[in-house]
Structure 1
Amino acid sequence: MSDQKKLHVKKGDRVKVIAGKDKGTVGEIIAVDPSNERVTVQGVNIVKRHLTDRQAGGRTVQGGIVSSEAPIHVSNVQPVVKKDGEEVVTRVGHKRVKVTRTRADGSEHEVYRSVRIAKATGEEF
């Protein structure tokens, strides 16, 4: 059994920040760190780093002040879905659906698969 934690969001999800200095900002998740329960959201929690010039692979990489996104805790974001043409925040539920799979020998069989559903709309996302 792995010690990997399950998060309610994953890479590529559109989320809204519900707490912190960027509260209300909507963006896409660009990185997920399940072991630390942190996500990096595009355009959220921008930090500036001061980098010096350095050698990398035989060439000089120029330093300076670089802005980039820093991770935030996963509890500070909530998924966003489209409902009646506008974006609304939602909680995440799970549902088991029956799917048909094909075996290597060509025969088919039915199995169950867990999918994420948006509580606000009841649709899979």
Structure 2
Amino acid sequence: MDDNNTNYINNNFNQDVREKLSVFYDCMISMSSDTGFNKFFVRSRSHLMVTVLVASRYTDFFSFEKLCNKIPNNVASRSTIKSILDDGVKQNYYDKNECPEDRRIQLYKLSSENFKFIEDWVGKQHHIFK
């Protein structure tokens, strides 16, 4: 392949990537400027990761310890994860229950209304990056 063809392919690829990133950026700005769950979800990298993990177990609950084990310490500390969960429960974004086998264990899942939002968000990401 000659240099002209390589440059043409690279320019088209770069244009496609730039357009996708621009749409993604606009989506994230819109969400962070919003209120409620949208803003909570994208407040920080830690908020996004905790929420995505909790949503990944929609029919089940995620324990605090399992979340802490899944998220690296350099991404979010135990206290950060706990504060995100507490805030999410307080705002009714997450549901919290005691483990029936061990009442010391708190279990979390995303509320059904917010799970629908996550489904829509995943669909948008798929559409943007397909």
Pick the structure with greater CA Rg: 1
**Under a length normalisation based on structure 1, what TM-score does the superposition of the two structures give?**
0.27
Which one scores higher on RCO, CA 8 angstroms, separation ≥ 6?
2
**Under a length normalisation based on structure 2, what TM-score does the superposition of the two structures give?**
0.26
